[in-house]
Chain A
Amino acid sequence: MSDRRLAIGRDPLDVTELIGLVSGDEPGAHGAVVTFVGTVRGENQGRRVIRLEYEAYEPLAMRAFAIICDEVSARWPSARVAFHHRTGSLALGEASVVIAAASPHRADAFAACRYVIERLKQIAPVWKREYFEGGDVWIEGATADPSDESAREEAYRRSCA
């Protein structure tokens, strides 16, 4: 995909840009736009977080983003999504990920937006290093496997809960 709908990099994120990217050229095509902004939290598992450092394997991340986009199109054909992930050092409160989802009706927009964040957390090759008061630690979550059907179903179940 040559447009800006999917991106990863060091630049600060702009939710307004993402809303524009899903809104399309034709006014009134969508009745709902849902956005999600993931931000750096100051507390994690009892630790006082100072900042986070995000590392990514960018070409593979773009591949993972395209897979997620295709999955959204298959589940919610009328929805249009865009999402950007940030890398590098982020201060408390800064946005690490921004998602926008548009569709004719709100249910699909909410579901598609939630699905994107759940799948990003499962398969995007991005790693978070937490710097907290007293040390630092790599956070490790899910084994990245886009073909894991049970993970995909879990993301879908959460999206429609």
Chain B
Amino acid sequence: MRITIRLFGRLHDLAGASELEREVPMTATVASVWQMLAAEFPTVAPYARSVSAAVNADFVKTTTTLAEGDEVAFLPPVSGGM
């Protein structure tokens, strides 16, 4: 199935794209998509411990399973406010 991956902040710079389309297995989870991303872009791998995730613009755990057409976002540590 096909999903969209959104990358923000420094993750966007490291991967060289803010949005990626990828084919993933029907059993894909947020965690497995992260593993795939880290394999494709090894410089993002150190974010494994600090990254958080959203699916279709809602916060999720990395164990969340995905469906066709989902938008998965990976969020590096945030720095809004001031």
**Residues of A with Cβ closer than 8 Å to B?**
38-39, 41, 54-57, 59-61, 63-64, 85, 96-97, 117, 120-129, 138-147
Contacts and interface: CB of A to CB of B under 8 A. Distances in A.
B81 A140 contact: no
Contact of B54 (A57, A97, A117, A140): A57
B57 A142 contact: no
Contacts, number: 100
Contact of A144 (B6, B10, B13, B52): B52
Nearest to B54: A60
Which of A39, A41, A59, A138 has the most chain B CB atoms closer than 10 A to its own CB? A138
A60 B56 CA distance: 9
Contacts of A121: 78-82
B81 A120 contact: yes
A117 B79 CA distance: 12
B77 A140 contact: yes
Given A57-B75, A59-B57, A143 B52 contact: yes
Contacts of B80: 54, 56, 61, 85, 96-97, 120-121, 124-128
Identify whether the interface residues of A are mostly helix, strand, loop, or mixed.
Answer: mixed
B77 A97 contact: no
28 contacts: A39-B82, A57-B6, A57-B8, A57-B73, A57-B75, A60-B59, A63-B58, A85-B80, A85-B81, A96-B81, A120-B80, A121-B82, A122-B78, A123-B78, A125-B8, A125-B54, A125-B75, A125-B80, A126-B80, A129-B9, A138-B13, A140-B78, A140-B79, A141-B77, A142-B77, A142-B78, A144-B75, A144-B77
